[in-house]
Amino acid sequence: MSRKEFSEAAILTVKEMPASVQHFAHFMMDYFVHVALWCDEHPATPVVVRDCGPCTPWFELLPAGNRVTVLPLSEVKKLSSLYPDNVHVMPGAGQFAPPRHSDRLPRFRAMFTTQVEPQGRNRVMATRSMSPSFYSSPESERRSSGPRRRRIGNEDHLARLLNRWWSFTVVEFFQLSPREAVTMMSSCSVFFAQRGAALMNLLFMPPGATVIEVLPQEFSSNQGHADLYRRACGHLGLRYMRIMQKSQFARVAPLRVVLVLAKLKIAPNARWPVGSKH
């Protein structure tokens, strides 16, 4: 953009907060959802957004008419001081999935799922086996992500179980491009994941699909935070189910997962092996 173009662009910033929008969950609920809806409501206005590390490629899915320019945070701050009337502060997590029903998340979903071709119905399990190297670099605004923050103790066993008997696709989401993630989730009928950033991909699931969240006990003390994804499912017309986990790294009994799938009336693809160890 030229200086004149910058003077006419909307500068979309994020509220100051303790968490970083370089992290996918906060990127989505504090920034990207609101940026996308703002662009949808102002289709011909060029916009400037801040660089968000590994999450930055998501800006490529925004409407072409907005001519999105991504700049380092320091440059966005300089522009904001030069053109304060052009600054629009995004509403943040408080307006992501508020208790009162809103059409914001369905509108957001429609913006992206209409860009991809459905691929039939599939079931998806998100894993936390690794973390992008970015979060160990000097550029990262936080130092902890992936399995260092939390993980299901027997995640590998559950992944094999769900893949073999219920045909779940097992995914490490940061290895997918944004368009690949949207394509996969727009056809997802059942999504299984531990509390974490990967659950934000439920935003692209079709109405009537099911989300199964494994929620560590530590989150239950803050009901508003614990119910974040439950509320998002309510806004999007998704069925929400929860499996409690004793701690952030505890094992989850396979039988508990099987019982949840049985409640959904999802039968295994083959006869359960006699004498198998769970």
Residue at 113 is within a domain: no
pLDDT band at 273 (very low <50, low <70, confident <90, very high): very low
Domain encompassing residue 186: 122-263
Domain check: are 135 and 246 in the same one? yes
CATH number at residue 246: 3.40.50
Note whether residue 277 is domain-resident. no
Q: Are residues 43 and 152 in the same domain?
A: no
Question: What pLDDT was estimated at residue 246?
Answer: 96
- Residue 151 in any domain: the answer is yes
* pLDDT score of 272 more than 80: no
Q: Average pLDDT, whole number, for the chain?
A: 90
pLDDT tens digit sequence for 192-246: 999 999 999 999 999 999 999 999 999 987 877 889 999 999 999 999 999 999 9
pLDDT in tens, 48-86: 999 999 999 999 999 999 999 999 999 999 999 999 999
Question: What band does 146 get if pLDDT is binned at 50, 70 and 90?
Answer: low
Are both 86 and 146 inside the same structural domain?
no
d(CA 70, CA 41): 19
Q: Is the pLDDT of residue 274 over 70?
A: no
Question: So what's the pLDDT on residue 277?
Answer: 43
Answer for the pair 194, 149: CB distance below 8 angstroms, yes or no.
no
Which pTM does this prediction carry?
A: 0.91
DSSP, collapsed to helix, strand or coil, labels residue 273 as coil
- Cβ contact 243:252 at 8 Å: yes
- Do the domain assignments include residue 111? no
Q: Are residues 255 and 153 in the same domain?
A: yes
| Tokens 């609101």 belong to residue | 34
Same domain, 238 and 126: yes
Q: Where are the beta strands (DSSP E) in 116-167?
A: 122-126
pLDDT for 145 beyond 80: no
Give the span between the Cα atoms of 69 and 200, in whole angstroms. Answer: 24
Residue 270: its pLDDT value, please?
A: 53
Same domain? 140 vs 82 = no
Give domain status of residue 276, yes or no: no
- 8 Å CB contact between 210 and 185: no
**pLDDT tens digit sequence for 4-37:** 788 999 999 998 765 689 999 999 999 999 999 9
Residue with tokens 């991504």: 70
Residues 137 and 50 placed together within one structural domain of the fold = no
pLDDT at 142: 73
Residues 92 and 126 in one domain: no
Q: In what order do the strands lie in the sheet with 210-216?
A: 168-171, 122-126, 188-194, 210-216, 239-245
pLDDT at 276: 42
By the 10 Å C-beta count (0-12 exposed, 13-18 middle, 19+ buried), 244 is classed as middle
**Is 235 contained in some domain?**
yes
pLDDT, residue 143, reads 63
Q: Does 276 or 221 have the greater pLDDT score? A: 221
Q: Which of 96, 111, 143 is the last residue of a domain?
A: 96
* 64 and 148 together in one domain: no
Same domain, 84 and 201: no
User: Is 139 found in the same domain as 90?
Assistant: no
Q: What DSSP character marks residue 268?
A: -
Task: Give 266 or 32, the one with higher predicted confidence.
Answer: 32
Q: Is residue 83 part of a domain?
A: yes
Total structural domains within the chain: 2
Residue 109 lies in a domain: no
Nearest CA among 10, 6, 249 for reference residue 128: 249
Each residue's pLDDT tens digit, 77-135 = 999 999 999 999 999 888 888 888 789 999 999 999 988 887 778 999 999 987 788 88
Final residue belonging to a domain, choices 54, 80, 96 = 96
Are the C-beta atoms of residues 61 and 67 closer than 8 Å to each other?
no
Q: Is the domain of 91 the same as that of 133?
A: no
